[in-house]
Amino acid sequence: MVSEKTALLFAGQGAQYIGMGKDLYAAFLESKAVFDKADKVLGSSFSKLCFEGPALELTQTQNCQPAILVTSIAAWEAFKSVHSSLCSSVHSYTAGLSLGEYSALVAAGAISLEEAVYLVRKRGEFMEEEALKFPGRMASILGLDLAVVKDICRETKAEIANINCPGQIVVSGGIKEIEKAAKLAEEQGAKRVILLEVSGAFHSSFMQGAALKLAGELEKIKINTPRVPIVSNVTAKPVTKPEEIKANLIKQITGSVFWEDSMRFILSQGVTQFFEFGPGKVLKGLMRRIDERAQVTNIEKKEDILNLSK
């Protein structure tokens, strides 16, 4: 059922929805324990926010970031409880899209769940604070080569936030700059330009203040050597040294997310099977564009875990 080399992938921001994790909470004691720990860190109403909303509150950056992390780890813990034979040493790498990198660190044993929940809540708060100080936005450009998008960024002062897969690049920056970049992308023949529903210019220099504040919080946190390498968003290379992990998490706030390169590195190591944990199937969709031969199994709900046994 599982190839010799397997990697674990973890969902990023934007995949949240009301009710995520609720069936895991009801079905698996291990998942319930994850949500209960988050409630202790963030307040007793946090699980209720994930399960019942309201949507406006759940989608706030400081809430959706821990919500996605907790749901992802709840899925991982439930998966381990049912498929322990697959989890001892089978996976070779972990990786997570932006916020998902924190989930990857928890799964690899580099950081505790409680500290990760605390960190991503602070991360979200810091990002929201900077977004209020320096208004900005993001846009996803579909169907243009990277070289063309780089030229657009040079002309408009927009910045490349994510290189997700062939033909999908996200840019970030000031409101006027992103609107101009979107118009230029359309003129250059982009198949589609989507102005994203986010509160600020994430993964750009607009977030420098958030990076500095996060650095202060990371000084309080102990990061352990992970059991398996984490492939970093900002380098697309494996990392195991705690100080490098910490430095990369700080760089990630203002730097580009090299998701396509990260996946290509893992594929180059002979990995052909991936498990995607957390809400949504975004990473499976991106992998289909990167290498359609790779097998990605989504682990989000109770049925996903139990169906693996069949």
pLDDT > 90 fraction of the chain, expressed in percent and rounded: 89
Confidence at residue 168, expressed as pLDDT on a 0 to 100 scale: 97
User: In which domain, by residue range, is 239 found?
Assistant: 6-131+205-307
Q: Which CATH number is 35's domain given? A: 3.40.366.10
Based on the domain organization, do 23 and 139 belong to the same domain?
no
The pLDDT of residue 264 is above 90: yes
Mean pLDDT of 74-92: 79
- Give the chain's mean pLDDT: 94
Based on the domain organization, do 187 and 219 belong to the same domain?
no
In a domain, 1, yes or no: no
pLDDT > 70 fraction of the chain, expressed in percent and rounded: 96
Confidence at residue 1, expressed as pLDDT on a 0 to 100 scale: 46
* pLDDT classification of 106: cutoffs 50, 70, 90: very high
Q: How many domains does the chain have?
A: 2
Write out pLDDT tens, residues 280-294.
999 999 999 999 999
Q: Which of 203, 204, 232, 262 is catalytic?
A: 203
Based on the domain organization, do 230 and 287 belong to the same domain?
yes
The pLDDT of residue 90 is above 80: no
Structure-block tokens of residue 34: 């994850």
Structure-block tokens of residue 256: 């580009």
The pLDDT of residue 194 is above 60: yes
Confidence at residue 3, expressed as pLDDT on a 0 to 100 scale: 46
Confidence at residue 43, expressed as pLDDT on a 0 to 100 scale: 87
Based on the domain organization, do 219 and 71 belong to the same domain?
yes
Site of tokens 């720990």? 37
Based on the domain organization, do 40 and 101 belong to the same domain?
yes
Q: Which residues contact 290 (CB under 8 A, 6 or more apart)?
A: 165, 166, 260, 263, 264, 267
Write out pLDDT tens, residues 208-248.
999 999 999 999 999 999 999 999 999 999 999 999 999 99
Q: Which CATH number is 151's domain given? A: 3.30.70.250
d(CA 196, CA 200): 10
Based on the domain organization, do 78 and 218 belong to the same domain?
yes
Based on the domain organization, do 96 and 189 belong to the same domain?
no
d(CA 244, CA 67): 26
d(CA 273, CA 308): 14
Write out pLDDT tens, residues 107-124.
999 999 999 999 999 999
More confident residue, 134 or 88: 134
Instruction: Assess whether 83 carries a catalytic annotation.
Output: no
Based on the domain organization, do 84 and 10 belong to the same domain?
yes
Domain boundary residue among 195, 218, 235? Answer: 195
Strands ordered across the beta sheet of 238-239 = 238-239, 230-231, 91-96, 6-10, 273-277, 295-299
Q: Which of 72, 98, 103, 204 is catalytic?
A: 98
In a domain, 200, yes or no: no
Based on the domain organization, do 68 and 172 belong to the same domain?
no
Confidence at residue 197, expressed as pLDDT on a 0 to 100 scale: 85
Closest CA to 233 of 127, 110, 94: 94
Please state, as a whole number, how many other Cβ atoms lie within 10 Å of the Cβ of residue 300: 23
Helix (H, G, I), strand (E, B) or coil at 191: coil
Confidence at residue 86, expressed as pLDDT on a 0 to 100 scale: 61
Q: Which amino acid is at 286?
A: L
Instruction: Assess whether 203 carries a catalytic annotation.
Output: yes
Write out pLDDT tens, residues 17-66.
999 999 999 999 999 999 999 999 998 889 999 999 999 999 999 999 99
pTM of the model: 0.95
**CB environment 160-183: b (16+ within 10 A), e (fewer):** bbbbbbeebbbbbbbeebbbbbbe
DSSP E strands: which ranges in the chain? 6-10, 91-96, 136-142, 159-165, 168-174, 192-195, 230-231, 238-239, 273-277, 295-299
Neighbour-count burial of 82, counting CB atoms closer than 10 A to its CB (0-12 exposed, 13-18 middle, 19+ buried): middle
